[in-house]
Amino acid sequence: MTIDNLHQLHRLIARNRFWEKIFIVFGILSLLVGIITLLALLIDMTIDGLPRLSWQFFTSFPSRKYEEAGILSAWVGTCLVILVTAIAAIPIGIASGIYLEEYAKKNWLGDIIEINVTNLAGIPSIIYGLLALGLFVEQLKLGRSILTAGLTLSLLVLPIVIVTTREAIRAIPNSIREAACALGASKWQTIWDHILPYSIGSILTGIIIGLARAVGETAPLITIGALTFIAFLPDSPFKSEFPYISFNWLQAEFTVMPIQMFNWVSRPDPEFQSNAAAAGVVLVFMTLAMNAIAIFIRYRLRRRIKW
Amino acid sequence: MVENHPSQASKFKCEVKNLNFYYGSVRVLKDINLSVFSHQVTALIGPSGCGKTTLLRCFNRMHDLYPGNRYTGEIELDKINILAPWIDPIEVRMRIGMVFQKPNPFPKSIYENVAYGLRVRGQSQRSAIDETVEQALRNAALWDEVKDRLYDLAFNLSGGQQQRLCIARALATNPEMILFDEPTSALDPIATASIEELITQLKEKVTILIVTHSMQQAARISDRTAFMYLGEIIEFDRTQTIFSDPTHRKTQDYVNGRFG
Amino acid sequence: MSEKYLKLSPTIHLAPRIIRNLRERIVELLLLGAAISSIATTIGILGILIYESFSFFQQVSIIKFLTDTEWSPLFENPRYGVVPLVSGTLVTTVVALSLAIPLGTIAAIYLSEFASPKLREIAKPCLEILAGIPTVVYGYFAYLFVTPLLQIPLPDLPGSNMLSAGLVMGIMIIPYVSSISEDAMRAVPVHLREGSYAMGATRLQTALRVVFPAAISGISAAYILGISRAVGETMIVAIAAGLQPILTWNPMEEAATITAYIVGVTQGDLPHGSLEYQTIFAAGLVLVLMTLVFNILGHFLTKRYREVY
């Protein structure tokens, strides 16, 4: 190789290196765009909303006067709706995941359920609202109630629970199944005694992430006609006299955090918008806290069991 | 059937008669005939892919777990054909234990690992389970090493200890026969030696069928050896005969290390 | 010891066996029932949409619905042309994707090919938080932070506009694009990369000419997921892009999307069975068909990229 050629080569390499550095700058920038936006959002909302965050804000009903308005009915509503969602979505989601992973045969039914779950995960949330409006509210006459809202969100969360259950189950090595079977355990005993206990941690992270999404979900609940001005709490589920438990709250009308926030954002006066910001801070805190718990569980699990 | 109870005096624990096994349409085992002698160690040897593990897994009907597998022929356990469709595979597995190639303890405590087989059998009396667990661990030569940490996670044991735990797990349910599928292939030489010693002790209590990748191991621990090649049993005889004076050319080549 | 074996003889243990098999069958049926509930959901969705749209299309012709350029179902002389809603949906989607696709792709290439494992461990959850923020909060942010910010260089920008809604939606979609693209690129086998390095290529050249093309079907699946998210996103556009169905292709104007229309109308009290009530199902049907096309496309693309290696 002549000196001249070598020179050329060095120049070429220098140029390639230069472009690489430019790209790295762009790469970091594009990561930062997302992260800076996130920070801007959180800071902006906190500045607007912090003055309104007081004990009174959590313990007051919505009001025409912005300084008296609070989110009591909203956060109680969110908690009750999510409770219904969890009760409906967790058993059905885990059961479907187990069926698809452990029982489903490679036939048309298995294929259809499989494609169907992927598709459901991609359907816009507002469409679930239309289903709930047409089916739960109008056909089944469940009303614009906490029950309807919880069931609607559970349909939305279901694909997430199913997918994480399947992934968690798939991660368990086959040797565990064979070990249990060789001891004379039946298929269901194997699942109940081994597969489920060993995968429940990962399944739990999926459930929490799914429920966090349900907490922030607005559109389907507006569609079924959640009210924005609720100045009462649903019936308490606990009674002082027999049978101590009541299900009247399921039929109660409700509002939830994101709808309360949406309502305040749409008001023209800035005072209500700072109420919206305060509600937003609470809402983001709720969802981020749930996500953080999920990430923590995942982290702990990764350190504990190595197959 | 009650009259026909398993007699300890019978020479054969298990008899395989004209067994064929198919994965889908592929015939993996061809006309296998084999007699497993009571309270002896029978070894299956042969080059990899010859079907020895497949044959072993027929004995506790592990193949039933996966679709597309099919048997013809018979395996008689105390004169009852355990491959018959009306026989419950779970009962077969309760009577014939198995130890796998890689130690596969459950991610539970040592105690729970051994007790699991009893729980599956509906045993719930705590004191009885305690007693059986201790006995099984003693029989698997593990008791002294783990008696102070029975409630530790089984994953914290060494590989050899995990494999002995798996043996204890199989022993706890008092099986009539135990299948070993290359039980030492994932272990170091010291752990291997202790497992081999254990197997020779166990044959007083149970009948043993072992698949092994190592001819030396077969020679050390087994009473009878079957040499398999391409899904067939080429030769089955006393271990000594197989290694010193085999009838077939293939067997001779194999035990002398000319192929495999 | 032989007594114990006796108890396990097949005939004596017949009863427990029958009970056990029965239990196994019942459990399997229950699990199957749960799995089928997802099919029931799909059937429910399609059934309701088609059922209500059917009554709608008996009163409004499909041709009119697809070609009329005005959507004013609540006016005195109602017109039912879905084109303005579709245009609003498409404009916000295009704005969102023109932000999310370049940023998401570059971030994915950077994370998969350049970033240290430690940075990746930190950056990925941070990006995923973006997808976890409730969309109503994004709506607030677009309406009360981004729009005023954009009004500094663009003083004519109306308070409700598709530009800020689209941009914020784009930020929200970045993690969908970047995480799936990154997975696809990381699935490219090392020997392909090493082949390229051995020829003297830089990391960037390897990333762009070897890894990116090899992962292209996974990456396009990520884009398609992003598109279907953008098409179906509701709260950001409902808050920040306005609720007026206007036919315009200019992102600096106000216009309603399909989703925003549904939200806007259902906020009021809709009499069941009225034509207005049925319009939201017809609009929903259009929306589902749009996302369905993208989802199916994405499904096949992911399947293909899984089969390559």
- pLDDT tens figures, B119-172: 888 888 899 999 999 999 998 889 999 999 999 989 889 999 999 999 999 999
**pLDDT of A269 over the 90 cut:** no
pTM (predicted TM-score): 0.86
Residues A278 and A174 in one domain: yes
**How many other C-beta atoms are found inside a 10 Å radius of the C-beta of residue B167?**
26
Name chain B contacts of A199, Cβ cutoff 8 Å.
Answer: none
B5 pLDDT tier (thresholds 50, 70, 90)? very low
Residues 6+ apart with CB under 8 A from A78: A215, A256, A257, A286
**pLDDT of C239 over the 60 cut:** yes
* Number of domains present in the structure of chain A: 2
- Strand segments, DSSP code E, in B125-205 are 177-181
* Interface contact A155-C41, CB threshold 8 A: yes
Q: Which residue has the higher pLDDT, C255 or A177?
A: A177
Q: Where are the domains of chain C?
A: 14-59, 83-308
Q: Which of A178, A185, A305 lies closest to B62 in CB terms?
A: A178
Q: Residue B249 maps to which CATH number? A: 3.40.50.300
User: Can you give the pLDDT at residue A244?
Assistant: 67
C5 pLDDT tier (thresholds 50, 70, 90)? very low
Residues A104 and A151 in one domain: yes
B157 belongs to a structural domain = no
C303 pLDDT tier (thresholds 50, 70, 90)? low
User: Can you give the pLDDT at residue A208?
Assistant: 92
**Which two three-digit tokens encode residue A18?**
């230069």
A196 pLDDT tier (thresholds 50, 70, 90)? very high
B8 pLDDT tier (thresholds 50, 70, 90)? very low
Residues A35 and A161 in one domain: no
Residue appearing with tokens 């469940």: A142
Between CA A177 and CA A185 the distance in angstroms is 9
Of A40, A205, A219, the residue nearest C229 (C-alpha)? A219
Chain B contact present for C11, CB below 8 A: yes
Percentage of residues in chain A with pLDDT exceeding 70?
A: 93
B119 belongs to a structural domain = no
| 3-state secondary structure string across C188-242 | CCHHHHHHHHHCCCCHHHHHHHHHHHHCHHHHHHHHHHHHHHHHHCCHHHHHHCC
Q: Which residue has the higher pLDDT, A174 or A114?
A: A174
- The string of pLDDT tens digits covering residues C38-94 is 889 989 999 999 998 888 888 888 888 888 777 877 777 778 888 888 889 999 999
A274 pLDDT tier (thresholds 50, 70, 90)? confident
User: Can you give the pLDDT at residue B113?
Assistant: 92
* Interface contact A175-B106, CB threshold 8 A: no
Between CA B28 and CA B50 the distance in angstroms is 8
**pLDDT of C99 over the 90 cut:** yes
Q: Residue A156 maps to which CATH number? A: 1.10.3720.10
**pLDDT of C9 over the 70 cut:** no
Name chain C contacts of A96, Cβ cutoff 8 Å.
Answer: 31, 34-35, 37-38
List strands edge to edge, sheet with B96-99: B96-99, B177-181, B207-211, B41-45, B224-229, B232-238
Residues A209 and A88 in one domain: yes
User: Can you give the pLDDT at residue A12?
Assistant: 87
Q: Which long-range contacts (CB under 8 A, 24 or more apart) does A118-122 make?
A: A118/A159, A118/C295, A118/C299, A119/C42, A119/C292, A119/C295, A119/C296, A119/C299, A120/A158, A120/A159, A120/C38, A120/C41, A120/C42, A121/A159, A121/A160, A121/A163, A122/C225, A122/C228, A122/C291, A122/C294, A122/C295, A122/C298
**pLDDT of C1 over the 70 cut:** no
* Interface contact A183-B65, CB threshold 8 A: no
Residues A239 and A196 in one domain: yes
- Residues shown for chain C: 309
Residues A44 and A169 in one domain: no
**Which two three-digit tokens encode residue A254?**
């409700």
B99 belongs to a structural domain = yes
B186 pLDDT tier (thresholds 50, 70, 90)? confident
In contact, B231 and B50? CB cutoff 8 Å: yes
**pLDDT of A290 over the 80 cut:** yes
**pLDDT of C11 over the 50 cut:** no
B7 pLDDT tier (thresholds 50, 70, 90)? very low
**Average pLDDT of the residues in B214-222:** 91
**pLDDT of C107 over the 50 cut:** yes
Residues A27 and A133 in one domain: no
User: Can you give the pLDDT at residue C128?
Assistant: 84
B179 belongs to a structural domain = yes
* Number of domains present in the structure of chain B: 1
Residue appearing with tokens 């004191």: B127
**pLDDT of A188 over the 90 cut:** yes
The answer for B 106-135 residues in CB contact with A (under 8 A) is 106-107, 116-117, 119-121
Its domain, for residue A24, covers 3-51
* Interface contact C134-A130, CB threshold 8 A: no
- The string of pLDDT tens digits covering residues C129-180 is 888 899 999 999 999 899 999 888 988 888 888 999 999 999 999 999 998 8
Q: State in words which class domain C83-308 has.
A: mainly alpha
User: Can you give the pLDDT at residue B131?
Assistant: 92
Name chain C contacts of A123, Cβ cutoff 8 Å.
Answer: 45, 232, 288, 291-292, 295
Name chain B contacts of A193, Cβ cutoff 8 Å.
Answer: 116, 119-120
Residues A210 and A175 in one domain: yes
Weakest-pLDDT range from A245-249, B89-93, B96-100, B178-182: A245-249
Percentage of residues in chain B with pLDDT exceeding 90?
A: 51
**Average pLDDT of the residues in C204-220:** 88
User: Can you give the pLDDT at residue B166?
Assistant: 93
Q: Which of B2, B8, B122 lies closest to C11 in CB terms?
A: B2
Residues A57 and A35 in one domain: no
User: Can you give the pLDDT at residue C13?
Assistant: 55
A68 pLDDT tier (thresholds 50, 70, 90)? confident
**pLDDT of C181 over the 80 cut:** yes
**Which two three-digit tokens encode residue C73?**
């179902």
B201 belongs to a structural domain = yes
Residues A29 and A161 in one domain: no
Between CA A24 and CA C110 the distance in angstroms is 7
User: How many secondary structure helices (H) and strands (E) does chain C include?
Assistant: 15, 0
User: Can you give the pLDDT at residue C69?
Assistant: 77
User: Can you give the pLDDT at residue C224?
Assistant: 87
- State the nearest Cα–Cα gap between C79 and chain A, in angstroms: 22
User: Can you give the pLDDT at residue A119?
Assistant: 81
User: Can you give the pLDDT at residue B196?
Assistant: 92
Which 3 state secondary structure label does DSSP give B208? strand
Q: Which amino acid is at A11?
A: R
- State the nearest Cα–Cα gap between A195 and chain B, in angstroms: 10
B3 pLDDT tier (thresholds 50, 70, 90)? very low
Its domain, for residue B248, covers 12-105+175-255
For residue B48, is it left (φ>0), alpha (ψ between -120 and 50) or beta? beta
Residues A103-126 as b/e (b if ≥16 CB within 10 A, e otherwise) read: bbeeeeeeeebbebbbbbebbbbb
Residues A185 and A128 in one domain: yes
Percentage of residues in chain B with pLDDT exceeding 70?
A: 96
Residues 6+ apart with CB under 8 A from A87: A150
ipTM of model: 0.87
**pLDDT of C7 over the 60 cut:** no
Residues A217 and A237 in one domain: yes
**pLDDT of B80 over the 90 cut:** no
**Average pLDDT of the residues in C18-34:** 90
Chain A contact present for B104, CB below 8 A: yes
A241 pLDDT tier (thresholds 50, 70, 90)? low
